Copies of this chain bind each other. A is one copy, B any other.
Amino acid sequence: MVTIGDIARAAGVSRSTASYALSGKRSISAEVRQRVADAAQELGYTPNAGARALATSETMVIGLLARFHEDEFAPAMLQYMLGVSDTARELGYDTLLVTEADGTRALRRITRSRMVDGVVLLNVAQDDARLPLLRSAPQPGALVGLPGDPSGVDVFDLDFEAAGRLMVDHMHRLGHRELLLVSQPENVVERGGAYVWRLQGAVVQQARARGIELHAVFGESRQPAVGRSLHALLDAHPTATGLLLNNEAAAAALPSVLHARGLEAPRDLSVIGRYSDEFARTFSLPFSSIESAPDLLGEMAVRQLVRRITTPGARNEPHVLRLLQPELIDRGSTAPPASGNPG
């Protein structure tokens, strides 16, 4: 392998001069700088990452801890991952992807061994076991997802409570008085998926405040269970005129369910989901939705993380808790309720 010693020799200077010439960290005569640059170019020099990390205590790598559960809709996760990975690269960082089931073990490994300069956690739970570890790690951490205790880390998430209220108010304004809500599967809640009950709680409360009758259920994450549960819900509440979805799998399954029942949105049922526009386009979802902005959230998390890594003193600044205000993307799937019973 070609080392900085090779460059130095080729350029006829010392290794330190070669290093400084390449980094620009001290003034070097134009001529020497050119000779070093030429040598590096010619020999195809790239600094050894391990050696540099050892010398500088910086790896230029951020850790991305994702987790995939059988009962969650994996494709939605990919967009967060890409938001993180693309932004990291833009800022000069590579991304160590960790999908290990035991997140605490993984986090301990990559922080203690100094494989990463910082960590982004996805799919954060209310009482996330990875958090105490992350707080005591020497590297800063950023979360996509709001935990019960957000101290010691930077947190970015959609404002799911505002999202719930927005869904209800939008339906209320159109004249709906009986709504259905399909949340994520109950297992997600039991694992501490706080965003599920944050949205659901807000929907329940806002429905009560607006005098709306609400039927809320946990959904499923897989066919055929998803479809069955949607059918069962529609069977059980034939007079409901609006459907709210905080469940990507249910959203993906809904078109078929509506077709099978001879229903159309918004003619027979108004529908609002909660997913990204990217998701909607990929999966052909014709429903208006609260934008979940996974790429933006991933990007914000990485930008803040890198700020903390690179800015002197930023390590001690107060931590950020930023909740994105929800936005409703209108795809024409809501309208005033029909007078008749679509049953």
The chain A residues found within 8 Å of chain B, CB to CB, are 1, 44-54, 59, 61, 64, 68, 73-75, 77-78, 81-82, 85-86, 89, 94-100, 108-110, 112-115, 138, 222-224, 226-227, 249, 252-253, 255-256, 259-260, 281-284
Contact = CB atoms under 8 A, between A and B. Distances in A.
A228 B216 CA distance: 35
Contacts of A86: 99
Contacts of A82: 68, 74, 99
Most buried by B among A138, A227, A282: A282
Contact of A54 (B44, B51, B222, B249): B51
A96 B47 CA distance: 18
A31 B22 CA distance: 50
Nearest to A68: B82
Given A96-B96, A223-B284, A224-B284, 6 more contacts: A1-B138, A46-B112, A49-B59, A50-B50, A222-B282, A227-B284
B99 A85 contact: yes
Most chain-B CB neighbours within 10 Å: which of A44, A113, A138, A256? A113
A53 B226 CA distance: 48
Contacts of A227: 284
A50 B95 contact: no
Nearest to A278: B74
